[in-house]
Amino acid sequence: MPQVRSVDRNTPIEEAMAILHEDGAVVFTNLVDGAVIDQVRAELDPYLERAYNGEGDFWGYKTKRVSSLIAKSKTYGEELATNPTILEVMNQLLLPHCERYHLHVTQAVAIGPGEGQQIIHRDDGLMPFRHPGPQSLCNTMWALTDFTEENGATNVILGSHEWDDDTHPDEDSVITHAVMPKGSCMVYLGSVFHGGGKNLTDDEYRVGMITGYSLGWLRQEENQYLAVPPEVAKHLREDVQHLIGYHLHDLFLGWVEGHDPHVVLEDRYSDVMPAASEGGEFVEDSKILKTAVLGEASRH
Ligand SMILES: O=C(O)CCC(=O)C(=O)O
Ligand SMILES: [Fe+2]
């Protein structure tokens, strides 16, 4: 059976990007050590054990899902969501279209024995953009168990990221599988058609973790500010805080009282009330003039 092409940790990033652009997906084999995955599992499994099966052809019937992963697993935020190789891919893919990107969605997906194939879909179908076009988002799938053809490795239609909006998968579409060992990560464009695979095993869960990134000016699919409220977010590592959205985009998007929203996590919220106090981070008038009046903000 055909598989999604893979690279390893030492492959130059350009090679991985070339596959991603050509196929719409690429697997990074063994991107993190098994010990990292074991730690994530230790933090996540209590939630997975309590999770309910889905109900429907998209969510599945024997598939458990757990979201708000940043709030639930510190190791996930620090080792997987901010993995430097993955962020380098996102830098190249998304930064041409925004000043910063942010975390779009987090979800663990445990496909149980006997589960059927998930509906093949495009993750960026939620967005009002035409295809083909620039990528508004890009998702990744971390393998927390081995992904095999038998246990439900993600199905992907390679090349479908270039299809227009009138082209849909049919019985002639070639389905490939993201077969990969535990600790690997598949990157797949928001526009590529894909879906969870059938689990033909009697007793094996296929556990993966969806981690998506989207343009910094676009609404996040998972509301990160509620999924990870400030009292939780303030204990996270700073780069994780920025990634989930506690930052300004291009001076204006996302401010609180005229300030960078990160002040809320620094217990300085009361200092910046009212906005005209000496907080020191209020967007300077000169920058506002240049950006809003003269239109000189960085445009991509
Ligand atoms: O579980 C998988 O392999 C894919 C899940 C997926 O694509 C989704 O839920 O959007
Ligand atoms: Fe999906």
Give me ligand 2 centre to Cα 190, in Å.
8
Please report the atom of ligand 1 found closest to the CA of residue 154. Answer: 3
CATH number of the domain within which 123 lies: 2.60.120.620
Residue 240 lies in a domain: no
- Same domain for 220 and 277, yes or no, is no
What's the pTM value of the predicted model, to 2 decimals? 0.93
Q: Do you know the residue count of the chain?
A: 300
Residue 156 lies in a domain: yes
Counting ligand 1 atoms within 8 A of each CB, the residue from 151, 194, 211 with the most, and so the one to mutate, is 194
**Per-chain residues with Cβ under 5 A from ion ligand 2:** 123
Question: 291 falls in which pLDDT band (50, 70, 90)?
Answer: low
- Same domain for 157 and 80, yes or no, is yes
Q: Which one of the ligands is nearest to 222 CA?
A: 1
| Average pLDDT rounded to a whole number, residues 161-171 | 97
109 lines ligand 1 (CB under 6 A): yes
Q: Examine the pLDDT at 231 and tell me if it is beyond 80.
A: yes
Give me ligand 1 centre to Cα 280, in Å.
44
Range of the domain at 106: 6-231
- Same domain for 133 and 274, yes or no, is no
- Same domain for 300 and 198, yes or no, is no
- Same domain for 155 and 256, yes or no, is no
Last residue of a domain, one of 206, 231, 256: 231
3-state secondary structure of 74: helix
Taking residue 284's Cβ as centre, other Cβ atoms within 10 Å add up to: 10
Residue 242 lies in a domain: no
- On average, the pLDDT of the chain sits at 92
- Same domain for 116 and 214, yes or no, is yes
Cβ atoms of 265 and 233 within 8 Å: the answer is yes
Question: What is the β-pairing status of strands 137-143 and 101-111?
Answer: unpaired
Residue 243 lies in a domain: no
Beta-bridge mates of residue 108: 66, 209
| Average pLDDT rounded to a whole number, residues 267-274 | 70
For 224, phi then psi, to 5°, come to -65, -30
